[in-house]
Structure 1
Amino acid sequence: MTARTTHLDAEVRSAMLALSAAAKRDLGDPALAELVQIRASQLNRCAFCLDMHLEIARKQGVSDRRLDLVAVWEEAGDVFDERERAALALTEAVTVLTDGFVPDEVYERAAKHFEEDRLARLIALITVINSWNRLMVSRRIPPGSSRW
Structure 2
Amino acid sequence: MDLTMKEDLQKAKDLIDNEQYELAIDVLNNLNELSSKDYSYKLLFLAYSYYKVEKYDLAIHIADILLQKNSNNEYASQLKYLAYCGLEDYDDALDEIINFLSNNKANLYKVTLEELLLDIKKGLINEENKTCKIKELAVQNNINL
| TM superposition score normalised by structure 2 | 0.30
Asked which structure has the greater CA Rg, the reply is: 2
| TM superposition score normalised by structure 1 | 0.30
